[in-house]
Amino acid sequence: MDLIFAGLEVLYRWDVMLALLVGSIGGVMIGAVPGVGPAVAIAILLPATFWMDPIVGLTLLLGIYGSSMYGGAIPAILINTPGTAVNALTTYDGYPMTLRGEGRKAISIAYTASFVGAIISIICLISLAPVLAKVAPMFGAREIFLAALLGLVLVVVSHRGQAAIAAALACLGIFIGTIGLEPVKYTKRYTFDQSWLASGVDLIVVVLGLYAISQAFMLMQGDDVKTRRVPLGGGMFQGLREVARHPRVAGVSSGFGVLMGIIPGVGEFTSQFLAYTYAQKTSKRPEDFGQGSVEGLIASESANNSVPAAAMVPLLALGIPGEELTAMMLAVFYVHNVVPGPGLFQNQMDFVMAIYLALLFLNILVMVFLLFSTNALMMVARLPNRFLGVGILTLSFVGIYSLRNSATDCLMAAAFGLFGFILKRLSLPIVPIIMGIVLGGIMEAKLRIAMARVKTPYDFIDRPIAMALFVFIILIIAFQIRGAVIQSRRLKEAQWSTRPASTRFGTFLSRRRDFVLTERGKRLREARSTLPRPSTDRD
């Protein structure tokens, strides 16, 4: 209880309250605009928060992070376009409800389920905080190295069907992080004797390029999406009753969200997938899923909204971000010389508690705001895409140029924007690059410290947590390789069993000739002819 009061004391400042209000309402609005998303917004605002107090800057970014998914549900349900990527599953059941005239009810269910998910997650974390404070100091350099490696491996394997390119892009991220002056020996790495590369490639420049500028290019290069207005039916408070009727689905889905949020590199998509599958398998009406099922909507929204709070655990306790948004927040910590990790939990528990409480308050604020502003937010969701692109490009300039007032940074960000544009066109993942930059830096520093104290390779994993993490990493890699080999074998078998005959004209003629001329061909024709030959005799 003392901890909670200490946390409240940290938050009890006008600038923190204002940041919370602006962040949460701004996050909902950003989430409601398809094509922007919290990653773009956080990337743009990140440099602006460097001039603020750490708690003010973090509260602002947390507000956007925690509330964008609420806003993202609005276009997902009403116009079948997810506002943020994690709201994609919401369209499955939300939009069919809108089509049958229950749009307002669907939105209300989404808000309530999101709220329940977030609150369950925050309560879990507040109760877990004392345990985490005891466990976190057990993580030394080796354990943090292994946990970062685990995060990277999970980020790679979570991209099913793209694991090889995800791994390659993660390595590219690690490489980008090493460019410039090496921090211990002060030697240059991959600068190609260019002075502008000596200070390295700033994370913010990469983030703004890959997320914001590339998104601006995508929007400006595409066409405006026409949306049709559907009359909204149902009451705004019906969601409360529906969620109360399915407490098991909301509870279990939130549980999945908390678990998946804590594990670095997993995140919203896996938790939603597990929650949705669970809800469908245990439902009395599984056939309704995808056709406007209330349970499906609850599962999807409560699972994704319970992740942000849980994702703060690896970030705060170990200094390891689990996904790109927490990776960006790590930059705010570093700028203010607040090093997240075991020390933070030991020495600044009030700060940690303040962050959890900020998450709690922002959910309440968002809920109240949304109940009265959904119609107005629909106007925001209908902004023309290419016009949004102009806005994002203008804001990106502020984010990049304010870092060092450098035109070179802007040029680099534009180059990363082009690269991100290509990745988005090809549906290739961007997250591994960011995770590679952030986790690669952590891994390099921690491995150097750890290896100084290690005499034999086994010493590296002789502590229980290190051993557990090591075994976990090996198991994940082994399962991935096994799955790949099995799938590859199946694919080969399927290709051989259904191999079609060649459709080339020459081959076709050759086959036809064989069929007509050879003895075997004649026999085949006789066997296949079911009709008697027409008689040529005249009557």
505 sits near another protein (criterion: CB under 8 A): no
Tell me the closest approach of the beta carbon of residue 181 to another protein, in angstroms. 10
162 sits near another protein (criterion: CB under 8 A): yes
168 sits near another protein (criterion: CB under 8 A): yes
Contact criterion met (CB below 8 Å) for 390 and 220: yes
Contact criterion met (CB below 8 Å) for 281 and 273: no
190 sits near another protein (criterion: CB under 8 A): yes
CA angle in degrees (0–180, nearest 5) for 365-370-372: 110
487 sits near another protein (criterion: CB under 8 A): yes
Q: What is the torsional sign of CA 129, 58, 151, 302?
A: positive
Contact criterion met (CB below 8 Å) for 137 and 346: yes
- Report the C-alpha gap between 187 and 178 in whole angstroms: 11
Distance between alpha carbon 377 and the CA centroid of its chain, in Å? Answer: 23
Return the number of the residue (135 or 171) whose C-beta is nearest another protein: 171
479 sits near another protein (criterion: CB under 8 A): no
- Report the C-alpha gap between 354 and 126 in whole angstroms: 10
460 sits near another protein (criterion: CB under 8 A): no
Q: Which of 88, 236, 428, 467 binds another protein (CB under 8 A)?
A: 428
Tell me the closest approach of the beta carbon of residue 205 to another protein, in angstroms. 13
Contact criterion met (CB below 8 Å) for 88 and 82: yes
Q: Which of 110, 154, 170, 201 binds another protein (CB under 8 A)?
A: 170
160 sits near another protein (criterion: CB under 8 A): yes
- Report the C-alpha gap between 351 and 103 in whole angstroms: 40
Which range of residues in 69-77, 123-131, 183-191, 254-262 is near another protein by CB under 8 A?
A: 183-191
Return the number of the residue (182 or 514) whose C-beta is nearest another protein: 182
Which range of residues in 34-42, 209-217, 290-298, 352-360 is near another protein by CB under 8 A?
A: 209-217
- Report the C-alpha gap between 300 and 87 in whole angstroms: 8
Torsion (CA) 65, 66, 71, 73 in degrees, nearest 10 = 110
- Contacts of another protein in 513-532 (CB under 8 A): none
Task: List, in order, residues 6 or more apart from 449 with CB less than 8 Å away.
Answer: 141
- Cα-Cα end-to-end distance for the chain: 111
- Report the C-alpha gap between 253 and 114 in whole angstroms: 10
Return the number of the residue (4 or 172) whose C-beta is nearest another protein: 172
Q: Which of 127, 187, 195, 535 binds another protein (CB under 8 A)?
A: 187
172 sits near another protein (criterion: CB under 8 A): yes
Task: List, in order, residues 6 or more apart from 251 with CB less than 8 Å away.
Answer: 120
491 sits near another protein (criterion: CB under 8 A): yes
* DSSP secondary structure letters along 155-211: HHHTSTT-HHHHHHHHHHHHHHHH-EE-TTT--EES-TT-HHHHT---HHHHHIIII
Return the number of the residue (21 or 411) whose C-beta is nearest another protein: 411
- Report the C-alpha gap between 50 and 519 in whole angstroms: 85
CA distances to 369, 436, 499 from 372, rounded to whole Å, are 6, 42, 60
180 DSSP β-pair partners: 189
The two three-digit tokens of residue 530, written as one number: 């079911």
196 sits near another protein (criterion: CB under 8 A): no
What track of x and - describes contact with another protein for positions 97 through 136 (by CB under 8 A)? ----------------------------------------
Return the number of the residue (197 or 367) whose C-beta is nearest another protein: 197
Helices (H), 426-463: 431-452
167 sits near another protein (criterion: CB under 8 A): yes
Return the number of the residue (188 or 463) whose C-beta is nearest another protein: 188
Q: Which of 196, 483, 516, 522 binds another protein (CB under 8 A)?
A: 483
85 sits near another protein (criterion: CB under 8 A): no
Tell me the closest approach of the beta carbon of residue 203 to another protein, in angstroms. 16
What track of x and - describes contact with another protein for positions 377 through 416 (by CB under 8 A)? -------x-xx-xxx-xxxxxx--xx--x-x--xx--x--
499 sits near another protein (criterion: CB under 8 A): no
- Contacts of another protein in 219-248 (CB under 8 A): 220-221
Candidates 311, 109, 324; CA nearest to 206 is 324
Contact criterion met (CB below 8 Å) for 260 and 274: yes
265 sits near another protein (criterion: CB under 8 A): no
Tell me the closest approach of the beta carbon of residue 377 to another protein, in angstroms. 17
Distance between alpha carbon 214 and the CA centroid of its chain, in Å? Answer: 17
CB atoms within 10 A of CB 496: 8
Tell me the closest approach of the beta carbon of residue 266 to another protein, in angstroms. 17
Kindly state the number of chain residues that form the binding site for another protein, as judged by CB under 8 A: 73
Return the number of the residue (261 or 267) whose C-beta is nearest another protein: 267
- Report the C-alpha gap between 255 and 372 in whole angstroms: 29
Residue the block writes with tokens 């199946």: 490
471 sits near another protein (criterion: CB under 8 A): no
Return the number of the residue (214 or 306) whose C-beta is nearest another protein: 214
- Report the C-alpha gap between 360 and 371 in whole angstroms: 17
Tell me the closest approach of the beta carbon of residue 23 to another protein, in angstroms. 13
What track of x and - describes contact with another protein for positions 41 through 70 (by CB under 8 A)? ------xx--x-------------------
Tell me the closest approach of the beta carbon of residue 117 to another protein, in angstroms. 28
Which range of residues in 161-169, 229-237, 312-320, 331-339 is near another protein by CB under 8 A?
A: 161-169
- Contacts of another protein in 305-344 (CB under 8 A): none
6 sits near another protein (criterion: CB under 8 A): no
